[in-house]
């Protein structure tokens, strides 16, 4: 998780309670998620203000999924819609909804490419992180770390 902290060093990263709950639920299968959930460098926040709660209800209604699914995505979209910032969401439908709403929404791979462009990580480090993510079972639009850069050019994230 030191890589994640380095990737967002110039930002003000927040961890919404709904995302933290999803991370905690994933710890039995992916123990490193506990490091992210406990990251003291992340500002722990909750949706408390009425506009945040209204936005959460709207996004949750659109994303659906019952009481335990898509809460993190809905919370992130709600937070960014009210408070601003950049949402990092890997779920395609949630990213599309955020884009439609005019929010800055990107996936994890965008964050890695941004870190490469900013000189935080070199190419080998980024490729290794992507390979590590793939090894956890994370669904990504690339099959290997080395395939990331070709994908990023095709997606318009690079140059």
Residues 91 and 148 placed together within one structural domain of the fold: no
**Segments of 13-55 assigned E as strands:** 14-16, 43-45
- Out of 106, 124, 145, a domain closes at 106
**159 domain-assigned:** no
Residues 43 and 85 placed together within one structural domain of the fold: yes
Residues 100 and 124 placed together within one structural domain of the fold: no
Distance from C-alpha of 149 to C-alpha of 100, rounded to nearest angstrom: 26
Residues 86 and 132 placed together within one structural domain of the fold: no
Residues 44 and 78 placed together within one structural domain of the fold: yes
Residues 49 and 99 placed together within one structural domain of the fold: yes
Range of the domain at 35: 2-106
Residue 127, pLDDT score: 98
What residues pair up with 88 in beta bridges, in sequence order? 106
Among 149, 107, 151, 154, smallest CA distance to 124 is for 149
Residues 28 and 67 placed together within one structural domain of the fold: yes
Residues 11 and 84 placed together within one structural domain of the fold: yes
pTM for this entry: 0.93
Residue 18 vs residues 39, 44, 58, 60, 64: alpha-carbon distances, Å: 15, 10, 15, 12, 15
**119 domain-assigned:** yes
Residues 34 and 89 placed together within one structural domain of the fold: yes
Give yes or no for a contact between 43 and 12, defined as CB atoms under 8 angstroms apart: yes
- Domain of 100, CATH number, reads 3.40.50
Residue 68, pLDDT score: 87
Residues 26 and 81 placed together within one structural domain of the fold: yes
Residues 100 and 121 placed together within one structural domain of the fold: no
Q: How many domains are contained in the chain?
A: 2
- pLDDT by residue for the chain (159 residues), tens only, comes to 588 899 999 999 999 999 999 999 988 988 878 877 777 889 999 999 999 999 999 999 999 999 989 999 999 999 999 999 999 999 999 999 999 999 999 999 999 999 999 999 999 999 999 999 998 888 899 999 999 999 999 999 999
């Amino acid at each position: 998780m030191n890589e994640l902290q380095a990737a967002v060093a110039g930002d003000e990263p927040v961890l919404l309670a709904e995302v933290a709950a999803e991370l905690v639920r994933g710890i039995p299968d992916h123990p490193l998620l506990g490091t992210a959930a406990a990251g003291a460098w992340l500002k722990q926040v909750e949706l408390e203000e009425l506009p945040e709660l209204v936005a959460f209800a709207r996004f949750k209604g659109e994303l659906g999924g019952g009481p335990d699914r898509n809460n993190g995505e809905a919370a992130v979209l709600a937070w960014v819609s009210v408070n601003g910032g950049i949402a990092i969401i890997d779920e395609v439908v949630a990213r599309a909804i955020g884009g439609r709403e005019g929010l800055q929404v990107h996936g994890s791979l965008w964050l890695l490419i941004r870190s490469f462009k900013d000189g935080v990580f070199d190419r080998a480090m980024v490729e290794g992180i992507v390979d590590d993510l793939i090894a956890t079972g994370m669904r990504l639009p690339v099959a290997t770390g080395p395939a990331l850069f070709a994908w990023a050019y095709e997606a318009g994230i690079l140059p």
